[in-house]
Amino acid sequence: MVAARAGTRPRGSGRRKSPHKMRPMYCSFYLRNGVAFIPTEAKTEAGYWLAIEPVDVAPVANAEALHHLLLKSIGRGNPVVKTPNRQNFPQEVMRRYCGMKSLSAFERTAALWAISTRDDSYVIYRWRRSTKHPGAWEEDRDHMTILPLTTPMEGVARQAAELAFNEQKA
C-alpha cells in the first residue's frame, strides 16, 4: 500500500469483509533520537487517515515509556472529520513538532511505525520510503507483526513499543 503523503493513508480496497463488525483503528508514531512523536489519527469521511492535534511528544528512555504514550494516544480514538479539499487541506501537523527546517528532513532521520486493524487482526508495521514512488511511503512487509483481534489493546501497544524501541536501539 502506498501513501502519497506522510500522515495520510489511502482507503483500503479489495479487503475481505468480516462477518464481525470491526471498528477500524489506526495509530502512527515516529521515533527519532529517543523521542516519540505520536499524532492523533482522524479518519476522513472519504476514508483516509489524517494526522491531527493533539500530538504527544516525549522522550522515551525505554519500551515501557513508549507503551504508555501509545496507550494514551490510542485511548483518544480516531475521530471522523470532514474530508478537506485542496483549498482547505491542513498543513502537516508534524511540521510544528519536528524541530527541523523541514518535515522531509525529519522523516529521513526518523522511524515511522503504525498499528492498525485489518482482516480481524491488529497489524504492527514500519513504514519505509517507496522505491517505486519517490516521496511516498509504503508498508515495510519485512517489519510486520500480526496479532489476533482478541489481543487486549494493552498487549498490542506493548508489542508495538517493544518492536519499535528495540529496532531504534539496534
Percent of the chain surpassing pLDDT 90: 64
Residue 67 has pLDDT above 50, yes or no: yes
Q: Per the omega criterion (within 30 degrees of 0), is the bond before 54 cis? A: yes
Q: How does pLDDT run across 91-125, given as a tens digit for each residue?
A: 889 999 988 888 889 998 999 999 999 989 999 99
Q: What pLDDT is recorded for position 3?
A: 47
Q: How many domains does the chain have?
A: 1
Identify the CATH number of the domain in which residue 57 sits: 3.40.1590.10
- Residue-number span of the structural domain to which 53 is assigned: 2-169
Predicted TM-score of the model (pTM): 0.83
**Which three cell numbers mark 70?**
501509545
In whole angstroms, what is the distance from residue 110 CA to residue 121 CA? 26
pLDDT at residue 19 is higher than 90: no
Q: Please answer whether residues 164 and 113 qualify as being in contact, where contact means their C-beta atoms are separated by less than 8 angstroms.
A: yes
Give yes or no for residue 75 having a pLDDT over 80: yes
Using alpha carbons, select from 22, 72, 20, 24 the residue that is nearest to residue 48: 24
By C-alpha distance, which of 47, 45, 15 is closest to 121? 15
Using pLDDT thresholds of 50, 70 and 90, give the confidence band for residue 1: very low
* Mean of all residue pLDDT scores within the chain: 87
How confident is the model at residue 2, as a pLDDT?
44
Partner residues linked to 51 by β-bridges: 41
Q: Is 149 exposed, middle or buried (0-12, 13-18, 19+ CB in 10 A)?
A: middle
